[in-house]
Amino acid sequence: MPADPVPNAFYAQSGGVTAVINASALAVIETARNHPDKIGQVYAGKNGILGALREELIDVSRETPEKIKGLLTTPSGAFGSCRYKLKGIEDNRAEYERLIEVFKAHNIRYFFYNGGGDSADTCQKVSEIGAKMGFPLQAIHVPKTIDNDLPFTDNCPGFGSVAKYVALSTQEAALDIASMCATSTKVFILEVMGRHAGWIAGAAGLAARSEAEAPHIILFPEIAFDETRFLAKVEQTVEKFGFCVIVASEGTQTADGELLSGSKSRDAFGHVQLGGLAPKLANLIKQAHGYKYHWAVADYLQRAARHIASQTDLDQAYALGKAAVEMAAAGENAVMPTIVRVMDAPYEWTIGRAPLNEVANQEKLMPKSFFTADGFGITDEARRYFAPLIIGEAYPPYRNGLPDYVTLENHLLAQKLPTDNRW
Amino acid sequence: MPADPVPNAFYAQSGGVTAVINASALAVIETARNHPDKIGQVYAGKNGILGALREELIDVSRETPEKIKGLLTTPSGAFGSCRYKLKGIEDNRAEYERLIEVFKAHNIRYFFYNGGGDSADTCQKVSEIGAKMGFPLQAIHVPKTIDNDLPFTDNCPGFGSVAKYVALSTQEAALDIASMCATSTKVFILEVMGRHAGWIAGAAGLAARSEAEAPHIILFPEIAFDETRFLAKVEQTVEKFGFCVIVASEGTQTADGELLSGSKSRDAFGHVQLGGLAPKLANLIKQAHGYKYHWAVADYLQRAARHIASQTDLDQAYALGKAAVEMAAAGENAVMPTIVRVMDAPYEWTIGRAPLNEVANQEKLMPKSFFTADGFGITDEARRYFAPLIIGEAYPPYRNGLPDYVTLENHLLAQKLPTDNRW
């Protein structure tokens, strides 16, 4: 009688992608190979969890070693990601049963889900339903979100690179305005991501080493927007320094929770789709003070900016993917590896763990102690937190003047189940 | 009797700044030092030509050698630039007379003006008036404009770096959308600079190596915008490839010259201040096809992006500053050094010259042969033109995770003339 085959692993990317999520994928693939007695193949979901529901499993072993190595330096989700939130088990048991069927068919006993808060919730549910259905799975969540809003971890892979991009973009644009403000633009607004938490906007504060330096004003979702105070601060800044640079979180809102951007369209998770805040702020300023303005909306450029990724961020993304597989190989389940900060300066960190049932559906906002008294800036405590996350330039290779990013072949495994068109 | 003192040089930055204009400044300063028999001190105008009118002359010799060297890796205008166009000599003779007075007072006989088309015109006029007033000046124009619209030169310093930034930002954002499009964003729009000429948007085309790759649609000011054809192309692209990436010049306009962005405010040169095109296009697409969209407006981020400047661009910016001083030392006047392309691949270039009276107030648009038949892309001929301009990564030094850009002291010379408050 042959020995039971070594069980396989499923890996999927979820939600908004980042500059370094593929480094976590690479770590999962490489680390799994170090445990041939425990883990057989790594199959990746085509377009995230949908790949499991549709039985569209990517056979990672068919990629060339060069392409797999290229994951370290390629932004975005190389296997496709998705915005698809599994419903509660009671609401849609069929969906979970389908997942288990597919996993059974391909002898998949490890579930690595690389995402943010919503994905941690899904990961927890998959672990529960597997147990209930008598097909125990080890579900490990690999944290990733540019929003930096997961609890228990010092920070989230993807964030450090956005933080670096946003801080240096603010620094560069501010030099431009400083050199032009005598006769031209007086106000510059950079709109950045951040629906509910101001981490990204806050990190832009690293560009300022003194009150005179940009950004002069940061708008956070956590601090109620007060038009009068804002406009007064803009005017004071222009009068004092000749120009004013503003970094605004897309989720900036008034005390009664009204988003300044005002858009009402929603994505699949029910989140409001934002954008358009920067021109709105510019218009307010123009009407109040008449200053010439410019504005930029970084949008996807900020989270895809692998060309200037933070080395610290890249190292942590890899370390968390690696830790996830090692936890699985050690028999752990329903857990998420975390970054534990040992020291601010010099920055020291290590890997910790958090139980998934405590992680899911929590959002970590910026603490009060990170905001200056007027709410328009960050404190030294915040600086100590942000500073190490942007250290190091993890440059990709270039070819013909552009980054030499890889595109995988993404060969699918032969399907073993009848086609199911529900997904 | 003492010998006549060696005459000094005036250097000023004009108009919108670039990632590499300070490299031209450095070249002027360093090359002038190689001609101590011909050129005494280099004085820089504080805020461009206004520095001459206000007698605010920066004493470059008081900066540390480290700061001066830092000009090579620092974006924006280190001495301040301005949007200030001198009127015609007949309209405002007093302005020209004031310039000559200031130059006389400081024994300035060389005028290096670092700018675009408007500045070439000013430079030409300064040369004329000097001769008319019996104080002959050698006026040399150092070309610079991200718009790449100067005649006679193969390309303009500042453009290659914007081209690189825009092409790689398109490439990165496209990878993001490609990985999300199954369940989320289908259309991404990147708005880039370019009022009358589509050079910047065109360079983004380098990101696509095949029809399937982004950008799928480029909108140029030179090609009349046709809403029906545009919307049809968006739909075809989404149906064929799953998503559509659009790069749009801010100056995109309809056949009757109506700007799509619609803004009516104007700058000091009478140019319409643009912005807001991307959300407008997104809205058109949403209404016609219902696709989920994202958009970004790069604005100043693109022209200040020294962190990923093109080495070719940097080399040329330096070479032109150097050539300008060598031309001055050789007795030339009313001339602009140019880049002459010798070969596309491998790229070879050399320095040429153009007489200023032929350069001034001309705008070089993209040639017809650079646009594909449907007007939404660039041809292979265009690719051969753009490709070498983005080669090489001229990384700046970093400190604490951010570029270590210099800020000069900008000490002013003691004034020799009575204060004149007209400027």
A43 with A66, same domain: the answer is yes
Q: Is the pLDDT of residue A97 over 60?
A: yes
A164:B401 CB<8 A: yes
What is the mean predicted confidence (pLDDT) over A210-235?
97
Shortest distance between the Cα of B198 and any Cα of chain A, in A, equals: 19
Tell the residue number behind the tokens 């405002």, with chain if given.
Answer: B92
Question: Vertex A18, ends A14 and A23: CA angle to 5°?
Answer: 90
Confirm or reject contact between A296 and chain B (CB < 8 A): yes
Shortest distance between the Cα of A391 and any Cα of chain B, in A, equals: 4
The candidate with the shortest Cα–Cα distance to A320, out of A17, A14, A25, A10, is: A25
Q: What is the DSSP letter of B177?
A: H
* B22 token code pair: 């300070």
SS3 A415: coil
Q: Which amino acid is at B384?
A: R
Count how many Cα atoms sit within 13 Å of the Cα of residue B334 in the half-sphere of its side chain: 15
Q: Which amino acid is at B288?
A: A
pLDDT of amino acid A93: 86
Q: Confirm whether A109 is domain-assigned.
A: yes
Confirm or reject contact between A226 and chain B (CB < 8 A): no
* A308 token code pair: 């200037």
What is the mean predicted confidence (pLDDT) over B114-129?
92
B250 with B349, same domain: the answer is no
Q: Is the pLDDT of residue B315 over 80?
A: yes
A275:B294 CB<8 A: yes
pLDDT in tens, B317-336: 999 999 999 999 999 999 99
A71's CB contacts (< 8 A; 6+ apart) are A22, A23, A25, A26, A29, A78, A406
pLDDT in tens, B141-172: 999 999 999 999 999 999 999 999 999 999 99
A212 Cα distance to chain centroid: 31
- φ and ψ at B217, to 5 degrees? -135, 130
B208 with B284, same domain: the answer is yes
Count how many Cα atoms sit within 13 Å of the Cα of residue A237 in the half-sphere of its side chain: 26
User: What is d(CA B44, CA B25) in angstroms, rounded to the nearest whole number?
Assistant: 9
Q: Is the pLDDT of residue A264 over 60?
A: no
A67 with A184, same domain: the answer is no
Q: Which candidate in A18, A56, A162, A176 is best for mutational testing of the B interface (most B CBs within 10 A)?
A: A176
A57's CB contacts (< 8 A; 6+ apart) are A10, A43, A44, A45, A46, A51, A102, A106, A412, A413
By DSSP bridging, strand B187-192 and strand B293-297 are parallel
Q: Which of A263, A278, A306 is the last residue of a domain?
A: A306
Q: Is the pLDDT of residue B266 over 90?
A: no
Q: Which candidate in B46, B122, B180 is best for mutational testing of the A interface (most A CBs within 10 A)?
A: B180
Average pLDDT value for chain A: 94
Q: Which residue of chain B has the CA closest to A299? A: B296
Tell me which chain A residues have a C-beta less than 8 angstroms from the C-beta of B84.
Answer: 183
The kind and range of the H/E element at A108 are strand A108-115
B309 or A83: which carries more pLDDT confidence? B309
What is the mean predicted confidence (pLDDT) over B262-280?
63
Tell the residue number behind the tokens 């328009």, with chain if given.
Answer: A376
CATH number at residue B174: 3.40.50.460
B18 with B59, same domain: the answer is yes
Q: Confirm whether B12 is domain-assigned.
A: yes
Q: Is the pLDDT of residue A180 over 90?
A: yes
A175 with A272, same domain: the answer is yes
What is the mean predicted confidence (pLDDT) over B180-192?
96
- φ and ψ at B352, to 5 degrees? -120, -165
B35 with B24, same domain: the answer is yes
Contact B119, B15 (CB under 8 A): yes
Give the count of beta carbons closer than 10 Å to the beta carbon of residue A291. Answer: 17
Strands (E), B292-382: 293-297, 335-343, 348-355
B175:A304 CB<8 A: yes
Confirm or reject contact between B391 and chain A (CB < 8 A): yes
User: What is d(CA B169, CA A110) in angstroms, rounded to the nearest whole number?
Assistant: 36
Sign of CA dihedral B93, B94, B98, B99: negative
Among candidate residues A118, A147, A149, A315, the one labeled active-site is A147
Q: Is the pLDDT of residue B86 over 90?
A: no
The candidate with the shortest Cα–Cα distance to A362, out of A241, A196, A162, is: A196
A243's CB contacts (< 8 A; 6+ apart) are A177, A178, A181, A185, A186, A187, A188, A237
Q: Confirm whether B237 is domain-assigned.
A: yes
Least confident stretch, A15-19, B80-84, B89-93, B284-288? B89-93
B94 with B191, same domain: the answer is no
User: What is d(CA A317, CA A23) in angstroms, rounded to the nearest whole number?
Assistant: 6
A419 or B76: which carries more pLDDT confidence? B76
Q: What Rg value do the Cα atoms of chain B yield, rounded?
A: 23
Which structural domain range is residue B71 located in? 8-145+308-362+394-403
Q: Which amino acid is at A150?
A: L
Least confident stretch, B170-174, B248-252, B418-422? B418-422
B308:A307 CB<8 A: yes
A257's CB contacts (< 8 A; 6+ apart) are none
For A377-394, b/e burial (b = at least 16 CB within 10 A) is: bbbeebbebbbbbbbbbb
By DSSP bridging, strand A348-355 and strand A398-399 are unpaired
B340 with B298, same domain: the answer is no
Q: Confirm whether A375 is domain-assigned.
A: no
pLDDT of amino acid A262: 72
Q: Which amino acid is at B296?
A: A
Confirm or reject contact between B387 and chain A (CB < 8 A): yes
pLDDT band at A373 (very low <50, low <70, confident <90, very high): very high
* B319 token code pair: 């070479």
B204 with B256, same domain: the answer is yes
The A348-355 sheet, strands edge to edge: A57-59, A42-45, A8-13, A108-115, A138-143, A335-343, A348-355
Tell me which chain A residues have a C-beta less than 8 angstroms from the C-beta of B308.
Answer: 307-308
* A212 token code pair: 């005179």
Q: Please give the full DSSP string across A216-261, using - where no structure is assigned.
A: SEEE-TTS---HHHHHHHHHHHHHHHS-EEEEEETT-B-TT--BSS
Per 3-state DSSP, what percentage of chain B is helix, strand, and coil (rounded to 5)? 40, 20, 45
By DSSP bridging, strand A335-343 and strand A293-297 are unpaired
Question: How buried is A128 (Cβ within 10 angstroms: 0-12 exposed, 13-18 middle, 19+ buried)?
Answer: middle
User: What is d(CA A274, CA A266) in angstroms, rounded to the nearest whole number?
Assistant: 9
pLDDT of amino acid B12: 98
Q: Which amino acid is at B227?
A: E
Q: Which of A280, A306, A332 is the last residue of a domain?
A: A306
Confirm or reject contact between A403 and chain B (CB < 8 A): yes
pLDDT of amino acid B87: 82
What is the mean predicted confidence (pLDDT) over B227-249?
98
Sign of CA dihedral B239, B244, B249, B250: positive
A179:B76 CB<8 A: yes
The candidate with the shortest Cα–Cα distance to A116, out of A324, A321, A352, A336, is: A336
A301:B172 CB<8 A: yes
pLDDT band at A274 (very low <50, low <70, confident <90, very high): very low
B184:A268 CB<8 A: yes
A322 Cα distance to chain centroid: 18
Q: Is the pLDDT of residue A336 over 90?
A: yes
How far is CA B391 from each of CA A184, B143, B312, B370, rounded to the nearest angstrom? 32, 20, 6, 20
Contact B218, B199 (CB under 8 A): no
A78 with A174, same domain: the answer is no
Total domain count for chain B? 2
User: What is d(CA B165, CA B192) in angstroms, rounded to the nearest whole number?
Assistant: 11
Average pLDDT value for chain B: 94
pLDDT band at A270 (very low <50, low <70, confident <90, very high): low
Q: Confirm whether A415 is domain-assigned.
A: no
User: What is d(CA A397, CA A399) in angstroms, rounded to the nearest whole number?
Assistant: 7
Count how many Cα atoms sit within 13 Å of the Cα of residue B89 in the half-sphere of its side chain: 17
Q: Which of A258, A287, A306 is the last residue of a domain?
A: A306
What is the mean predicted confidence (pLDDT) over B127-132?
90
Q: Confirm whether B153 is domain-assigned.
A: no
Tell the residue number behind the tokens 């403000």, with chain if given.
Answer: A181
pLDDT band at B209 (very low <50, low <70, confident <90, very high): confident
A88 with A177, same domain: the answer is no
How far is CA B395 from each of CA A312, B160, B404, rounded to the nearest angstrom? 19, 14, 11
The kind and range of the H/E element at A24 are helix A21-33
Q: Which of A 203-222 lie inside 8 A of B, CB atoms?
A: 206-207
Confirm or reject contact between A305 and chain B (CB < 8 A): yes
Q: Confirm whether A102 is domain-assigned.
A: yes
CATH number at residue B62: 3.40.50.450
Least confident stretch, A83-87, A402-406, B160-164, B223-227? A83-87
Q: Is the pLDDT of residue B60 over 80?
A: yes
SS3 A399: strand
A76:B179 CB<8 A: yes
Tell the residue number behind the tokens 């993807």, with chain if given.
Answer: A158
Confirm or reject contact between B173 and chain A (CB < 8 A): yes
